[in-house]
Amino acid sequence: MTQLEAGDVLARRYLLLEPLARGGMSVIWRAFDQSLHRLVAVKVLTASLHLDLGERFRVRSEARAAARFLHRDSIEIYDYGESVTTKGGVAAYVVMPLLDGTPLAERVAEGPLPWTEAAMIALRLARVLMAGHAHGLVHRDVTAENVLLTADGPKLLDFGIAAWTGDPEDDRGTPPYVAPERLAGAPTHPAVDVYALGVLLHTMITGRTPYPETTWEEIEAARRTGPPPRVPGVPHAVASLCQDCLAPDPVDRPTAAEIVAALTGALAATYGGRRVRRRLAAAGSAALALSALLWLRYEGDAAVPGAGTTTAAQGAVSPSGPPAATQGAPTPSGPPTAAQGVPTPSGPPTAAQSAPTPSASPAAVGTAGTPGPRATSGSGSTASSPGSRPTVRQAVQQAVAEFHAALDSRTPCGATDADVVLDLKQVLRGAMAPPHGPSETRASGPEAVEGVRRKLDDRLREGRLEPACLTELQTRLDAIASALTTS
């Protein structure tokens, strides 16, 4: 057993300041890198390696492999080393960034998490495991102590002491999270991580581990019969997934990729339903507002002799009311959009909407049966807008609205995390923002959305955007670029 104290120095470089967390396999220390003068986190294995040269070689090999594994939700490895301690033992350690956050174990100790929050955390962890398993790495110690909740989401620690698939099993791990086959000495397999993730998901939702055993002796003495315990009060898909992860036979457990798919579907179904309810509420509000506007217009027309007799050749626009139905009143299928022409109370009209032109020819008003675009001046008179600007502006607005609709759609982008959706919308909003001053110009055409395309590529590489969703969003960006090219 490695015995370390505050003030000890590893490899004449890392000064240990205070322990941050203790797990079944290691202790994490806040430390000071005396070479680069920065604070770091040092994870020290609890088992001493001075009597086992084979173990030292294997730990070193695993750390090197893990250092080549990079994932946004896994902690990067700065350094690995072995150091003789003041007690004469040999300590293996891994150096990582020191991040601000709360250990998941502390969050769970405060009480059960809402199932949606627990599922989101498990989803992020499953993605890390999926990537690690694809590289042949098995974590072996997925526990609440090894998950750090940061401002950027959960981070999985300890991949620096992972194992290769097929390695002989050992006694590493935290007892409540250890899969049954590990007690029989089965070779390392990704299924042990799936079992541990099932224990973690159950613990987050219920506030306790699925089985009462907490020590190696208790686990070895336990004789479990019957199916794994079921999580109450959650959707059927989540409860079944948790049970499947805890299956005694590793063959019956899902893969990390299947966990990602199941949790994504469960969360999409929940948040998709909420989006539908929000849209229905928005549609109801829009219908109420439109009814009020039409009533005001009716009242205004009734007070003016001859009102309502305007011909189509005159544009069918009354200064006292909204545009006629033929000019963009919303269809019953959904709430009105800006591109449909329904006025909104968001602010005063822009120059392109209200500035009168010096003259207006009959051709600019439109032919019979086809009302042309009209603008209302501040005095209430009508005048045509220059050229086809309103049509171009509406085309851009419509293309942007379709991009947002694709992001919000359950297919193919329903699996996209809410923070990714919000980030993409904000990037596009910034690209569409008007110039801040006369000396600043906005890029046009493809250049205007290039930053959004780069963001999409980044999210795809991170595994946070499905290829089908990327294809759909790229098509929507092409439409935006095309509309901007004609402006």
Task: Please report which helix (H) or strand (E) contains residue 351, including its range.
Answer: helix 351-354
Task: Please give the C-alpha separations between residue 356 and each of 140, 346, 361, 385, in angstroms, as whole numbers.
Answer: 72, 21, 13, 7
Phi, psi (deg, nearest 5) at residue 277: -65, -40
Q: What is the dihedral of CA 446, 451, 452, 457, to 10 degrees?
A: 110
- Of the candidates 352, 353, 348, 329, the one whose C-alpha atom is nearest the C-alpha of residue 340 is 329
Output the DSSP codes for 118-185: HHHHHHHHHHHHHHHHHTTEE-S---GGGEEEETTEEEE--GGG-EETTPPP-S-S-GGG--HHHHTT
Please name the residue ranges forming H helices in 32-91: 53-67
**Alpha-carbon span 218 to 183, nearest angstrom:** 12
- What is the CA 198 to chain-centroid distance, rounded? 21
* Residue listed under structure tokens 């993605």: 127
Identify whether 141 is a catalytic site residue. Answer: yes
Select which of 8, 73, 141, 158 is catalytic: 141
CA angle 383, 384, 389 (to 5 degrees): 140
Catalytic residue IDs: 141
